Structure 1
Amino acid sequence: MKKLALLLFAFLTISASSFAQDTKEAVKIYNPAANAQADLKAAIAKAKKEGKHVFVQVGGNWCSWCIAFHNLVDNTPELKKLLNDNYETVLINYSKENKNEAVLAKLQYPGRFGFPVFLILDGNGKLLHTQNSAYLEEGKGHSVKKVSEFLKGWTAAALKPENNKS
């Protein structure tokens, strides 16, 4: 009986340690504890000062499409440069820990389009555009070309009348 108990204990110990090694560390792109209103306010002030717009990505660490989009931008120098040169970026968490309901209500409930959802604000904090990210997909993920065209179309420079004369 002692041998059986010892074998069972050994099996459970090995199984538990094997399981622990197989589990991946949780993704932590979005911060549920962040003060979304303060983050937006800071980004808007900086965007105004630098002549940029604010790119807001709403999603959560639970959202595989949100993570995939973040990784696409992070691993595509063209997209990363386009964002950094033209936008102040804010990630707003939406999860069971923090739905940021008050902030998202002020932004006209963008979650109605699913996640991730993207918003463009000007340097005064005015909502210029809400983008359903599904329209930026192609095949099995977001399209670099479509995302690039979207971002280029909403830069502060793109919306200046003098840049849009035929």
Structure 2
Amino acid sequence: MRGLGVRRYLGAAALGLALFSAGASAQAETAPEAKLYLSETYNETADPAADVQQAIAVADGRRILLEVGGDWCVWCKILDKYLEDNADVREAFGESFMIVKVNFSREHPNTEFLGAFPDAEGYPHFYVLDADGSFLASQGTAELEEGKGYNRARMLEFAERWRKD
């Protein structure tokens, strides 16, 4: 799967979501504030390709940020809490991204889907996709950490770097 391109893999999921996408687009137009997460949990049974297609439909032109991790991941929980507690960083991420949580665990590694991307350095791990689902970048979150949390300036710079004009 690696090297075949994310869009080609995701294309198969698009067919199954055509009806949903039309309805979701209409909902996105009426939403007063952009939603940050497609889903706020790491769902072990979710189809990440379908989730990306759904995110494309409701992201309103923002880029897609794949947050790969799981409920087992301490730093994933720290990231969730950080974004919850830091309104300016949460807002910056919300202006730049629709976040799709992709489960990675021993039981459900999502090997086929994640095989389209460079290897993760650790967890959580970010993959930045353009608004159409094409791969743009891989980002280890260790570079964004500071102490037992995340560095505000680096998090804001990351969000700003990927904000669409």
Instruction: Give the TM-score normalised by the residue count of structure 2.
Output: 0.71
1:121 aligns to 2:129 (yes or no): yes
Out of 117, 130, 143, the residue aligned to residue 138 of structure 2 is 130
> Which consecutive segments of 4 or more residues in structure 1 shift more than 6 A?
none
Residue segments in structure 2 that go unaligned for 5+ positions in a row: 1-39
Bigger CA radius of gyration = 1
- Find the aligned partners of 1:116 and 1:31 in 2 and give their Cα distance: 14
Any conservation in 1 of the 2:52–2:100 contact (CA below 8 Å)? Answer: yes
Could you tell me how far apart the structure 1 residues matched to 2:148 and 2:90 are? 21
Supply the AA of the counterpart residue of 2:122.
Answer: G
1:129-160, Cα deviation, whole Å (9 max, x unpaired) = 11111111122221122111111111112xxx
Between the aligned partners of 1:82 and 1:60, the Cα distance in structure 2 is 23
Cα displacement (A) at 1:102: 0.8
Q: Which residue of 1 aligns with 2:83?
A: 73
Q: What is the deviation of 1:42?
A: 1.2
1:45 aligns with 2:54: no
Contact 2:95 2:163 in 1 (8 A): no
Q: Is this contact kept in 2: 1:45–1:123, CA < 8 A?
A: no
Q: Deviations over 1:65-96 (max 9, x none)?
A: 11101110011111221122221110000012
Name the SS for the 1:74 alignment partner: helix
- Counterparts of 1:1-166 in structure 2 under 5 Å? 29-47=41-59, 50-109=60-119, 111=120, 113-157=121-165
The answer (yes or no) to whether the contact 1:66–1:116 under 8 Å persists in 2 is yes
Q: How many residues align?
A: 126
Which residue matches 1:3?
Answer: none
Write the distance in 1 (CA, Å) between the matches of 2:41 and 2:56: 21
Higher helix share: 1
SS in 2 for 1:120: strand
Identity of aligned residues (%): 33
Question: What residue ranges of structure 1 are gaps of 5+ in the alignment?
Answer: 1-27, 158-166
SS of match in other structure, 1:68: helix
Across the aligned residues of Structure 1 and Structure 2, the Cα RMSD in angstroms comes to 1.5
Give the Cα–Cα distance (whole angstroms) in 2 for the partners of residues 81 and 63 of structure 1: 24
With a CA cutoff of 8 Å and minimum separation of 6, indicate the structure with the bigger relative contact order.
2
The Cα shift of 1:51 comes to: 2.0
